[in-house]
Structure 1
Amino acid sequence: MVLNTPATDTPLGRGIKHIGIGKYGSKPLPPDLLAECRTALADPMSHPLQRGAFWGALLAKGPTPEERTLEELIGKGAFSHPTFFINKICPGLPDRLLPIATKLVRGGHLQVTEAEQLGDYLFGQSDCEVFRALAASILRVRHETNDEYLGLMRAAERTFSPGFGSMSCADRPLVQLAEPFDGVEHSYLITPLLAQFFQKRGYGAVSLVGRSGGPKFTLNALDLYMNLGCQFLQSNHELDTPLANYGWVLDQKALSPALNRWVERRQIIIKRPFLATLEKVLNPCHAQILVTSVFHITYQMKMAELALLAGFDGVIVLKRGLEGSLAPSTSRASGVLCAVRTPRGHLFFQHFEGDSPAFASFRTQTETEYDQPQALDNARLVRQFMQEGHTTDADFDNRVHFAHALYRRGLDWIEGQLR
């Protein structure tokens, strides 16, 4: 089914935005929106993904007495009887998924094997879109555990195209760069210049990119690399041919058609599901080090732990980059968390804060904002910096130099731990 109106404008879309915030901060539905959602849930023509996402967010949040009246649409006491609830809203769900579905509705956490089985269904071609959205919404609102991420990761890996199997033909250690695929709306990306930095340090750089699942749609790394005229990676066998400047770029569409199919679903579900995190830590090229970012500081350690679960030996996680990107903020409390797993299996973590005296020369009072930044302009700045070491934009130059200094500090520490 296709939505004829923007996903955020439907009654259920507005309801999802209101209650799908997370386990800390979700608010009750106001009476007028509750009434509109009741009508939409009773309408068989409302989008199944939005129905599932709404029900999942509501149950994970915990319905208020007023919101609990919505269970009348399913059957008396439906919220208290998960098996009955699932059979009513997902009548086509295979029997093997019923225990997992009821566990999610009850608020339970999945074991690795259960999450793996759920992932196989989520990435598959079966029909029950209501359940896909329900499961993604529940996981997102109550926050996914590392065991759940590991199971989903294993399922996602089974969807990789044949060219991204168990082998890597790279003649040097690889660094994988991955920031949120929804990109930015008020700033420029510096990702290719970071890739060039790691290449100069003797690594091969692989940038993971993909279409935006939202909520931002203005400019992302895929748009930037397309405007740079890059050649996209189609197989790990291509890693034996070193590329100059910014290394290789891997589009999610080439990596996994199953993951790529979720982009449209994510746009309809509205809230960022587990894939917004998972797609950044997948390691299809068998890289040694992951360089990634989070906006919410509470997720910084989570990203580091997931990177090590995904097989990386080291990880650099930037906090509070501009709009969550790999470009550090020069006015806010930015910084990196580094983590390694040594050859003996020991784990070590280290923070480097962007407001330390060593980085004082890069600090600014405010951030320069750009209205509707264009990929063509971003590509021009990247090319200019690569060729001349500076651009006509002093703010852009300062941010690149700050990023180089910050990531250099993190990489030096990681290399010291892995020796």
Structure 2
Amino acid sequence: MSFMNRLATAPDPTATALGRAIKLIGIGKNGSKNLTPELIAECRQSLLTDADPLQKGAFIGALLAKGPTAEEQTLENLWGKGAFAHPTFLINKLCPDLPPKLFPIATKLLRNDHSLKPSEAHQLGDFLFDESYSSECCEVFRGLAVSILRVRHETNDEYRGLYEATMQTITPGFQQIACVTRPLLQLAEPFDGVEHSYLITPLLANFFESRGYGVVSMVGRTPGPKYTLNAHDLFLHLGCPMLQSNHELDTPPDPYGWVLDQKALSPALDRWVNRRRTLLKRPFLSTLEKLLNPCSARVLVTSVFHITYQMKMAELALMAGFDAVMVLKRGLEGSLAPSTSRSSGVLCAVRTPQGHLFFQNFDADLPTFTEYRTESDESVVNPQPHDNARLIRQFLNDEKTENEAFDNQVRFAKALFGRGLNWIEGQLK
């Protein structure tokens, strides 16, 4: 059985000892927690017997990036005393069939004292997507590498190299320049979607269409940890056709613009969805998949789950070739639906034709947005795509639904993003 088929039939990754450990230590620089003695013992037993190779790599990578405690340090005895302090030795033990050209990158990642250069990150990305390296040892390294990058936070240089490697995986139909007569705007929010709220993404697409833009919404299968409802599900329930190449951008879009499924864009990216479900913590792909710009869109509208990533997302969007970007903070569950009760807002960034960069924040507490503010946001129990699609259609036809909270949220989003777009258009003139 192939490794990818084993992934599809593997036990619940959140229930394994390593899975539970990864959820504690794979959080980030400041949020990771230490393992209990009981969990350390369970992980030791799993590493000796039935550890999933991806989780094995992700666990070790997160542990080393976090910095092991004295008790956690004892796990190194599984490979040899002092193994955690000798990167070359540890890589040879964990990944004996790793291609020799990757050993310098592997040891640099394990040393955890220098970030990768763009060229090194590009080389790493090429390996991550190359399915000819399909052994379990190579899967250990895949888990190890993306876990280290995630816990210590990827640098912009690393993102640049990984972005270039990812763009090389897109299908030929999306490598050709799009022929459109109006500027394109791209919508992209976390692909894992929501569990306690409704999405408004198709209505945002319709709104930006009314402002004179062709709109492309980036969607894909959920990589987890949420599995209830995402934009991919919603657009399918609305009956929206999925783009198969840039040639189709010369046809008029339906009321919700064009929709680009990650599976059609890059089968290599889609194959990583099952890996990401096993890894549990979001690797670099959760950021990069929103930034890919195969249709040469001019403006990106996206969101971030962690507020500290708002500026980084804006910088990366400009790096990816967008002329302008709006990044929403504190969207409901990280989506493009802004919260009406918490401090929300958008960060706008532009690169002018002269090459100058400008940034501007529009916060939700501005007086112009007062009418939309509420004491709390609606919490939806088990939101379903058919219910969400019904609200979308009803609002599009009648400009209101029976759900006042939903209506208010859509109107607030249009006002907020409209304010940001006005500023962007003024800067790009």
**Which TM-score applies when normalising by structure 1?**
0.99
Name which of 397, 409, 416 aligns with 1:406.
Answer: 416
- Which residue number in structure 2 is paired with residue 160 of structure 1? 170
Instruction: Give the C-alpha shift of residue 217 in structure 1.
Output: 0.5
Root-mean-square deviation (CA, aligned residues, Å) is 0.8
Flag structure 2 segments of 5+ consecutive residues without an equivalent: 1-5
95, 103, 111: which is aligned to 1:90?
95
Q: 1:382 is matched with which residue?
A: 392
Does the 8 Å contact 2:345/2:361 carry over to 1? yes
How far has the Cα of 1:242 moved from its partner? 1.9
- Matching of residue 37 in structure 1 with residue 37 in structure 2: no
**Structure 2 equivalent of residue 396 of structure 1:** 406
- CA–CA separation in structure 2 for the residues paired with 1:408 and 1:303: 20
- Answering whether residue 80 of structure 2 is matched by residue 80 of structure 1, we say no
List runs of 5+ in structure 1 lacking aligned partners: none
Equivalent residue number for residue 185 of structure 2: 175
State yes or no: 1:71 paired with 2:76: yes
The alignment partner of 2:172 has SS state of coil
Out of 54, 66, 79, which is 1:61 matched to? 66
Aligned residue for 2:206, secondary structure, equals helix
Deviation readout 1:260-318 (Å, 9 max, x if unpaired): 01100000000111111110011011100000001211100000000000000000000
Decide whether the 8 Å contact of 1:169 with 1:238 is kept in 2: no
Cα offset for 1:6? Answer: 1.0
Corresponding position of 1:203: 213
> Which residue type is aligned with residue 162 of structure 1?
P
Q: 2:3 matched to which residue of 1?
A: none
Q: Which of the numbers 25, 47, 65 marks the counterpart of 2:31? A: 25
* 1:322 equivalent in structure 2: 332
Asked if 2 retains the 8 angstrom alpha-carbon contact of 1:207 and 1:250, the reply is yes
Equivalent position of 2:293 in the other structure: 283
- CA shift, 1:246, in A, is 1.1
CA distance in 2, matches of 1:188, 1:198: 19
Amino acid at match of 1:178: A
Structure 1 residue aligned with 2:203? 193
Gap change, CA 1:4 and 1:256, over 3 Å in 2 = closer
Q: Give me the identity figure in percent.
A: 68
Q: Which residue of 1 aligns with 2:317?
A: 307
C-alpha displacement of 1:110: 0.2
Q: Which of the numbers 38, 47, 53 marks the counterpart of 2:52?
A: 47
Q: Distance in 2 between matches of 1:75 and 1:34?
A: 17
Moved over 4 A (4+): none
Shift of 1:4: 3.8
DSSP-derived class of the 2:377 partner: coil
- Alpha-carbon shift at residue 244 of structure 1 (Å): 3.1
Q: Within 5 A, what are the aligned runs for 1:364-383?
A: 364-383=374-393
> Would you say the 8 A contact 1:178–1:293 is kept in 2?
yes
Q: Using the alignment, how far apart are the partners of 2:160 and 2:213 within structure 1?
A: 27
CA distance in 1, matches of 2:107, 2:278: 24
Residues 1:102 and 2:107 aligned together: yes
Total equivalences in the alignment: 418
* CA deviation map 1:215-251 (0-9, x unaligned): 1000000000000011000000111112131110000
The whole-number CA distance in structure 2 between the counterparts of 1:46 and 1:132 is 15
Give distance in 1, aligned partners of 2:160 and 2:251: 31
Residues 240 and 254 in structure 2, CA contact (< 8 A), matched pair in contact too: no
Q: Is the 8 A contact 1:171 1:239 kept in 2?
A: no
Q: Distance in 1 between matches of 2:67 and 2:180?
A: 49
* Distance in structure 1 (CA, Å) of the matches to 2:40 and 2:321: 45
How far apart, in 1, do the equivalents of 2:383 and 2:342 lie? 21
Letter of the 1:37 partner, please give it. Answer: C
Per-residue deviation, 1:5: 2.3
Q: How many angstroms does 1:25 deviate by? A: 2.0
Name the SS for the 2:199 alignment partner.
coil
Aligned with 1:163: secondary structure?
A: helix
Cα distance in 2 for partners of 1:248, 1:282 equals 15
